[in-house]
Chains A and B, each alone.
Chain A
């Protein structure tokens, strides 16, 4: 177990390193930030001074090694635009993103799992058909289209909910709904098929022949085994919600990291984009690691290493 964890840690670390390298070189292929950050009318000396102050005049490899060295000391550099440490900007915005992603995940589970369970226990029924259609709808509709519809209907047409921002406790409802719709679709389908499969397992038949009630079987055997199948997609979905909420946050002007990243890309704020990419990949890697650990702990059938 320990050896397994250690090897997973090393793998995760290498993955992060790969991300650092890719991000650094990819962004620099797209052009010089001086042209974007310095006003067009500025004299040539101002342009040079800016280049020098930010180290853009040094060879690429030198810039890269300094960037790596700093990253290991948790120094993610300074934003060109905001002239603040990237980490402090990110920490300001992080809570909003975590809040939105967590509510969305919660919403997705609460809505999708019951639908999936009902469908799984009653395949072919009317409820199952509606549930499956709903799941298919969730998985296929693009989140940003759904988001705009939500705004049009619930903010503009009905006037029930705010169209943007995070001013009230209920401001989160529309963005969380938009962000969770993809997850709902996935969870419904997965829960349904897991339940369907488990229902036909031998140990369920055994339990039934023992005379256990339907409820007891459902709660103790089916639900627990189905949960196992769900964990991996839930964590993947959560990391997607944390990092993949760029367009949802932009549409709802949600004061989080996705919105920040969108702005940073428009402004070609290299250091900030790098820092955000690192933070997002950190989420993904950490959640993957966590998934593996959870499996190792809760599923007695899984044994790793020795």
Chain B
């Protein structure tokens, strides 16, 4: 009897598998670009579902794919999957990238950041900066209307600032960077900052404008429930946990945009489901996949895989503020040696299938002032041993090392591999092993500077400049900093107060070189992220910080 049951179960399971893995004939379309578009199209008959793909990603960049002409007016419904449940969809409150991506389609900022990170006019048509670098005069665009018909003028900028710095907002401190915002005339405002702040103009891109009358009428709660701005899409409804629906705003100030009539965001936390739903056509854009998942749909002509390097710098930090005092890692030769000791390329090849860019510093290849002449530290264990001997540690030493669990893809394995490479040159770990910690506890200790003298982490920036992560990780007073270096501090402070972009880029270049010669970290990599989009999606381009603007995206209606 039992044996009969097992046979039947086996048949049932085999049936399931058969249906799930039927062979099929498919067309492989994959777009890999190295600053120019290159479309690889080949006909392949596949016996098994997996298709071997090329992994040529020295400098992966995404370009816009446009195969058909854009429609004359907004049409069709674009459905985008997000991976979290947004807490809010207003700029001062949207807590993470996914919520911010919803917000970015509803609101317009005062300035616009181009794909190449340059600043161009948006609601502010032009601006001047006073000689002391503290006062901005913005000349506003005329004839812009809000979703509710209100006309945009200088008072609305004041309202935006006042509403933004309401302490109820998660990002109130961003608005507090301005000292005052005053109306000069209907279409001119003056904004002052306490100190010259080179990133301030850039941050105005995130000041999504609030309509004065409407905000005064509905207040904080009302505005959170139904936001109104001047962006390409207007808010329709938000069914919590299910969807956020937006609609093309017909009086949007940029002529001819947007290109889709309806935009729907669906929170789908589970990546396997996002992958399924983009294949069935229920959603058009799905983000945050790993290589293995993207591989599953190579060969499916209904979808296109996009991959690009994410501006998130992974590193192993040293400490010279608390636990690291008196440790060998205070000697710069030791830190250089540890950078030479690690075979980054082997780690990336083994754990990320080569889908990552190696790091040569904290100023990333996607940041202003990056110096391409500075190559990542080569793998050279002999040089490492030599430097260690020079520093007085010919037999190596022992040091404490911690890494977070479940915070970043494959990071536990990266730490394991790294400790192996360090052991090769004689550097062993306190207690004989890495101190792995659940990420919540880990961030606590990191913020209190209580981690061991060596610890792993990653830091992303979203505005194309390394300044935020430099200040956050390398100025002793910052919450997550564990390192202090007077020369480096001087450079970072200089970058933080240099307004002229070219001069600032030069300072970043110096920082890049200085941090290469005097590494406060073992530099690791910038991993690629993968997205899968429906083939009908045209003109879609996510940016290095996983942000996107959908006003120019349209759907080829052949589908």
Which residues does A use to contact B, with CB under 8 Å?
30-37, 39-44, 46-47, 49, 81-83, 89, 92-93, 96, 124, 129-130, 132-134, 136-137, 140, 148-149, 151-153, 155-157, 159, 162-166, 250-253, 255-256, 259-260, 262-263, 266-268
Say if the beta carbon of B279 comes within 8 Å of chain A.
yes
Contact A30 to B273, CB < 8 A, known contacts A43-B173, A162-B282: no
Q: Is the CB of A36 within 8 A of B87?
A: no
Q: Is the CB of B241 within 8 A of A256?
A: yes
Nearest opposing residue in chain A for B300, CB measure: A156
Bound Cα distance A243, B542 (Å)? 37
Nearest opposing residue in chain B for A29, CB measure: B441
Type the 1/0 row for B81-125, where 1 means its CB is closer than 8 Å to any CB of A. 000110110000001000000000000000000000000000000
What residues on B are CB-neighbors of A124 within 8 Å?
Answer: 1
Q: Is the CB of B440 within 8 A of A30?
A: yes
Contact A133 to B5, CB < 8 A, known contacts A252-B273, A253-B269, A255-B241: yes
B10-55 CB contacts (< 8 Å) to partner A: 12-13, 16, 19-20, 22
Type the 1/0 row for B161-203, where 1 means its CB is closer than 8 Å to any CB of A. 0000001101101000000000000000000000000000000
A-B interface, 4 closest residue pairs, ranked by CB to CB distance from nearest: A31-B440, A35-B443, A133-B8, A255-B241
Q: With A33-B440, A164-B273 given, name 16 new contacts (CB 8 A).
A: A32-B444, A41-B468, A43-B173, A81-B95, A134-B8, A134-B12, A137-B12, A137-B13, A151-B273, A157-B22, A163-B280, A164-B282, A250-B270, A259-B85, A260-B241, A267-B84
Say if the beta carbon of B240 comes within 8 Å of chain A.
yes
What residues on B are CB-neighbors of A267 within 8 Å?
Answer: 84
Contact A151 to B276, CB < 8 A, known contacts A83-B87, A165-B242, A263-B84: yes
Bound Cα distance A31, B446 (Å)? 12
Bound Cα distance A33, B443 (Å)? 10
Q: Is the CB of B269 within 8 A of A250?
A: yes
Bound Cα distance A148, B4 (Å)? 27
Type the 1/0 row for B270-283, where 1 means its CB is closer than 8 Å to any CB of A. 10110011011010
State the Cβ distance, B494 to closest chain A Cβ, in Å. Answer: 19
Q: Is the CB of B272 within 8 A of A148?
A: yes
Q: Is the CB of B443 within 8 A of A89?
A: no
Q: Is the CB of B276 within 8 A of A163?
A: yes
Say if the beta carbon of B401 comes within 8 Å of chain A.
no
State the Cβ distance, A94 to closest chain B Cβ, in Å. Answer: 11
Bound Cα distance A47, B170 (Å)? 11
Q: Is the CB of A36 within 8 A of B443?
A: yes
Residue of B8, B167, B441 near A49 (CB, 8 A) is: B167
Which of B359-367, B472-480, B544-552 contacts its partner? B472-480
Q: Is the CB of B268 within 8 A of A164?
A: yes
State the Cβ distance, B199 to closest chain A Cβ, in Å. Answer: 11
Nearest opposing residue in chain A for B462, CB measure: A41
State the Cβ distance, B93 to closest chain A Cβ, in Å. Answer: 8
Nearest opposing residue in chain A for B281, CB measure: A159
Nearest opposing residue in chain B for A253, CB measure: B268
- The contact sample of 26 A-B pairs, CB cut-off 8 A, is A31-B438, A31-B440, A32-B444, A35-B440, A37-B170, A41-B468, A42-B173, A44-B479, A82-B88, A89-B240, A93-B241, A133-B6, A133-B7, A133-B8, A133-B12, A134-B8, A151-B273, A152-B20, A163-B273, A250-B270, A251-B270, A253-B270, A255-B240, A259-B241, A263-B85, A266-B269
Residue of A37, A148, A156, A268 near B279 (CB, 8 A) is: A156
Interface of A is mostly: helix
Say if the beta carbon of B266 comes within 8 Å of chain A.
yes
Residue of A44, A47, A162, A256 near B477 (CB, 8 A) is: A44
Bound Cα distance A75, B550 (Å)? 41
What residues on A are CB-neighbors of B22 within 8 Å?
Answer: 157
Residue of A42, A82, A259 near B269 (CB, 8 A) is: A259
What residues on B are CB-neighbors of A165 within 8 Å?
Answer: 242-243, 266, 282
Bound Cα distance A35, B437 (Å)? 14
Say if the beta carbon of B373 comes within 8 Å of chain A.
no
Say if the beta carbon of B239 comes within 8 Å of chain A.
yes
What residues on B are CB-neighbors of A266 within 8 Å?
Answer: 84, 269
Bound Cα distance A42, B443 (Å)? 14
State the Cβ distance, A155 to closest chain B Cβ, in Å. Answer: 5
What residues on B are CB-neighbors of A136 within 8 Å?
Answer: 5, 9
Q: Is the CB of B440 within 8 A of A253?
A: no
What residues on B are CB-neighbors of A137 within 8 Å?
Answer: 9, 12-13
Q: Is the CB of B85 within 8 A of A260?
A: yes
What residues on A are CB-neighbors of B282 within 8 Å?
Answer: 155, 162-165
State the Cβ distance, B157 to closest chain A Cβ, in Å. Answer: 24
What residues on B are CB-neighbors of A166 within 8 Å?
Answer: 242
Q: Is the CB of B266 within 8 A of A253?
A: yes
Which residues does B use to contact A, with CB under 8 Å?
1, 4-9, 12-13, 16, 19-20, 22, 84-85, 87-88, 95, 167-168, 170-171, 173, 239-243, 266-270, 272-273, 276-277, 279-280, 282, 438-444, 446-447, 459, 468, 471-472, 477-480
Q: Is the CB of B269 within 8 A of A157?
A: no
Contact A31 to B240, CB < 8 A, known contacts A163-B277, A250-B270, A263-B85: no
Nearest opposing residue in chain A for B22, CB measure: A157
State the Cβ distance, B297 to closest chain A Cβ, in Å. Answer: 10
Nearest opposing residue in chain B for A81, CB measure: B87
Bound Cα distance A206, B196 (Å)? 98
Q: Is the CB of A83 within 8 A of B168?
A: yes
State the Cβ distance, B136 to closest chain A Cβ, in Å. Answer: 22
What residues on A are CB-neighbors of B240 within 8 Å?
Answer: 89, 92-93, 255
What residues on B are CB-neighbors of A250 within 8 Å?
Answer: 269-270
Bound Cα distance A162, B443 (Å)? 39
Q: Is the CB of B273 within 8 A of A46?
A: no
Bound Cα distance A153, B22 (Å)? 10
Residue of A32, A153, A268 near B20 (CB, 8 A) is: A153
What residues on A are CB-neighbors of B478 within 8 Å?
Answer: 44
Nearest opposing residue in chain B for A82, CB measure: B87
Bound Cα distance A35, B443 (Å)? 6
Q: Is the CB of B269 within 8 A of A262?
A: yes
Bound Cα distance A91, B133 (Å)? 51
What residues on B are CB-neighbors of A153 within 8 Å?
Answer: 16, 19-20
State the Cβ distance, B439 to closest chain A Cβ, in Å. Answer: 8
Q: Is the CB of A152 within 8 A of B8?
A: no
State the Cβ distance, B274 to closest chain A Cβ, in Å. Answer: 8
Most buried by A among B282, B440, B468: B440
What residues on B are CB-neighbors of A151 within 8 Å?
Answer: 272-273, 276
Contact A129 to B4, CB < 8 A, known contacts A31-B441, A43-B173, A81-B87: yes
Q: Is the CB of B95 within 8 A of A30?
A: no
Q: Is the CB of B472 within 8 A of A253?
A: no
Bound Cα distance A200, B558 (Å)? 66
Q: Is the CB of A129 within 8 A of B5?
A: yes
What residues on B are CB-neighbors of A132 within 8 Å?
Answer: 1, 5
Q: Is the CB of B8 within 8 A of A255?
A: no
Bound Cα distance A224, B327 (Å)? 77
Residue of B4, B444, B472, B477 near A31 (CB, 8 A) is: B444
State the Cβ distance, A105 to closest chain B Cβ, in Å. Answer: 22
Bound Cα distance A297, B135 (Å)? 79
What residues on B are CB-neighbors of A129 within 8 Å?
Answer: 1, 4-5, 8
Q: Is the CB of B459 within 8 A of A40?
A: yes
Bound Cα distance A165, B480 (Å)? 39
Bound Cα distance A268, B475 (Å)? 28
What residues on A are CB-neighbors of B280 within 8 Å?
Answer: 155-156, 159, 162-163
Q: Is the CB of A157 within 8 A of B444?
A: no
Q: Is the CB of B16 within 8 A of A40?
A: no
What residues on A are CB-neighbors of B88 within 8 Å?
Answer: 82-83
State the Cβ distance, B48 to closest chain A Cβ, in Å. Answer: 15
